[in-house]
Copies of this chain bind each other. A is one copy, B any other.
Amino acid sequence: MTISNKALDLFVERIALIKSYEESLGLLYWDLRTGAPRKGMDVRSEAIGNLSGQMFKLATAPELGEWLSELEQSDTYEGLSEIHQRLVTETRKEYDRSVKIPPKLYQEYVVLTSQAESMWEEAKANSDFASFEPYLDKIITYTNQFIDLWGVKGTRYDTLLDMYEPGMTTAELDRVFGGLREKLVPLSAAIANSPHQPETGFLKQQYAKEAQKKFSLFILEQMGFDFTGGRLDESAHPFATGLNPGDVRITTRYLADDVTSALFGTIHECGHALYEQNISKDLIGTTLCTGTSMGIHESQSRFWENVIGRSMGFWKRYFGDLQQHFPNQLDVSVEDFYRATNVSQPSLIRIEADELTYNLHIIIRYEIEKQIFNEGVKASELPALWNAKYKEYLGIEPENDGEGVLQDVHWSGGSFGYFPSYSLGNMYAAQITDTLEREMPNFWELVESGNLIPIKEWLTDKVYQYGKLRTPSELITSITGKSLDPDYLFRYLEKKYTDIYKL
């Protein structure tokens, strides 16, 4: 017992140390992306590399393995608090995953992906898949080596999925994505054929940046973003980062000729931020003090951006405020604005896609990744595969690979298994909304009256506070009483778009 207490202390101290590195590295990255002087970036990257290396050493040290083994003894484990139990389980998973990759192999892979990212940027700009193909091919080979080293449970692709969405499997995704795709493809086609297409021209005018910023700050405040525990900055690619629950930073980008980009971007990142700001204080200093998965994180950003932010109720309350910021540009009705910001149409570029077709972009990527790792499809086959799927599900085809298979950065960094998170987020969000509407019958009244705080509090109670203390499937089951069901998302989209497009 004394020995185990000692092991527990050392273990907890090590985790806190690792968390300090994570927080520091988080700040170094935030700084690089928000305003670090260009000339210092090479040296800064070295510093990041050095600190990451130190953290990796601490996270893979033999003594950590020994403490874990001690704490996993059933007598000892049973005596641990819920937080410490989960911390042991989580750390074991990360530890095993990390120590199984030989450092030299990992180093080669880091160099490869770093080169590949540069090559990808050029290849995308030139729509030149051939120049990127050998890199992609090697990244797939390395990833397959990692899968072998980690050990396959279920299918090979499951091993990758589990990194971003713990417990998620190809079988489960086949079920939910399959169900969704079957229904979304005809719905999307019906929308495209509707004679009632919204007018959107007024969104593309000159919108002064300062006024956009003011309105963004106003909406953040309305959503309950805590400015004493966070801040809003600008960056080329918007992101949210939770350094600790008292320091959660989001960024946005203001486009002078588009009022919706920064607006919905800010609401989206604020959804991520509300999650990070409201994690229980009990988890501070542990690696559980973050969102439980990419999919659940996206469910929160997308709940706020789409379910709330793109709802008629929200704009009934806030459109007047937005008009006051842009009196010359927004001389339209709230219905016109609502319909314009909810246009749905097949498109080639994922990050510009609407709430509905976005899911088809993701399902295409999921099916391709699954084929790569479970069926041995080669890098060289991807452009044709990509184009065929876009034709089949969205009815359109890229004119070149720059707007096709080369459009996303993810594969050049080796992030296979990440894409499904986005649509999982949409599905989780719709399913949680269904419960929310039932448990809080005045939900839409609250939105229409701009009383968003009780909604944030409900989500804190159900989702945010737990951090990584509950797995995604535990969370969705405990909240909604059911496992993940794609029909919630479909019914939500069907209802919304039937109304907008008068189907």
A residues with CB within 8 A of B: 16-17, 19-21, 23-24, 27-28, 31, 35-44, 46-47, 50-51, 54, 226-231, 243-248, 284-285
- Chain B residues in 8 Å Cβ range of A36: 247
| Pairs A–B under 8 Å by Cβ, sample size 10 | A16-B46, A21-B51, A27-B27, A27-B31, A37-B227, A37-B230, A39-B229, A40-B246, A43-B285, A54-B54
Chain B minimum-CB-distance residue to A36: B247
Given known A35-B231, A43-B285, A226-B39, contact A16–B50 (CB-CB < 8 A): yes
Contact of A247 among B20, B27, B43, B227 (CB under 8 A): B43
Tell me the complex Cα distance, A44–B27, Å: 10
Are A40 and B247 in contact, CB atoms less than 8 angstroms apart? Answer: yes
B47/A20 in contact, CB under 8 A: yes
Closest Cβ of chain B: how far from A38's Cβ, in Å? 5
Choice from B40, B230, B245 contacting A243 with Cβ under 8 Å: B40
| A28-B39 contact given A17-B54, A54-B17, A247-B44, CB 8 Å threshold | no
CB-based contact A43/B244 at 8 Å: yes
**A16-B50, A20-B47, A21-B51 as given contacts; A246 in contact with B285, CB under 8 Å:** no
Bound complex: CA A244 to CA B31 (Å): 14
Query: Do residues A47 and B28 form an inter-chain contact, with CB atoms below 8 A?
Result: no
Q: Which residue of B lies closest to A22 (CB)?
A: B47
Q: What 9 A-B pairs are tightest by C-beta distance, nearest first?
A: A40-B247, A39-B246, A40-B246, A39-B229, A20-B50, A20-B47, A43-B244, A23-B47, A37-B247
Contact B46 A285 (CB under 8 A): yes
> For residue A27, which residues in chain B have a CB less than 8 angstroms away from its CB?
27-28, 31
Nearest CB to that of A249 among chain B residues? Answer: B37
Whether A43 lies near B231 (C-beta < 8 A) is no
Given contacts A40-B246, A40-B248, A46-B285, 13 further A-B contacts (CB under 8 A): A17-B54, A20-B51, A23-B47, A24-B28, A37-B228, A37-B230, A37-B231, A38-B228, A39-B246, A40-B243, A41-B247, A43-B246, A54-B54
Residues of B within 8 A of A23 (CB): 43-44, 47
Query: How far is A50 from B23 in the complex, measured between Cα atoms in Å?
Result: 11
Q: Per a CB cutoff under 8 Å, which of B16, B47, B50, B246 touches A37?
A: B246
Docked CA distance A21–B247 (Å):
21
Residues of chain B with a CB closer than 8 A to A54's CB: 17, 54
A188 to chain B, nearest CB (A): 42
List the B side residues contacting A35 at CB < 8 Å: 231
Which partner residue on chain B sits nearest A38 by CB separation?
B228
Cβ–Cβ < 8 Å partners of A230 in chain B: 37
Which residue among A36, A37, A44, A51 has the maximum number of chain B CB atoms within 10 Å of its CB?
A37
The answer, among B20, B37, B228, for a CB contact under 8 Å with A229, is B37
Bound-state CA distance A230–B40 (Å) is 8
Task: Please indicate the chain B residues that have their CB under 8 angstroms from the CB of A47 in the complex.
Answer: 19-20, 23-24
CA distance A25 to B407 in the complex (A): 37
Chain B's nearest CB lies how many Å from the CB of A234? 14
Q: CA separation between A17 and B35, bound complex, in Å?
A: 24
Report the Cα distance A40→B26, complex, angstroms. 13
CB A278 to nearest CB in B, in angstroms, measures 12
> B43, A229: Cβ atoms under 8 Å?
no
Residues of chain B within 8 A (CB-CB) of A50 are 16-17, 20-21
Q: How far is the CB of A58 from chain B (nearest CB, A)?
A: 9
- Kindly list chain B residues whose C-beta atoms are within 8 Å of the C-beta of A227: 37
